[in-house]
Amino acid sequence: MKSLLPYIQILLSVFLIAVILIQRTGAQVGGAFGGSDNLSSAYHTRRGLEKWLFIGTVIIAILFAVSALINLI
């Protein structure tokens, strides 16, 4: 298990980066880089694919944190 853990962490980190980059903030992709001045775009209800991407991001981040803690032990 100890020899397999670094590969799991690399895979989780690649998935986490990909899922974060797929998500978009506001109406434009440029909003993810601070280009959106619309404050109301941050407070909206997530629906459909956006909701699943958000939930997936949280789950992958938790799995990555758990794998990092297991690696310390």
For 34-62, write each residue's pLDDT tens digit.
555 555 556 667 788 888 999 999 999 99
d(CA 2, CA 5): 5
H/E element, 13: helix 5-22
pLDDT in tens, 7-22: 999 999 999 999 999 8
Residues ≥6 apart with Cβ < 8 Å to 57: 16, 19, 20, 23
Structure tokens at 36: 């959106």
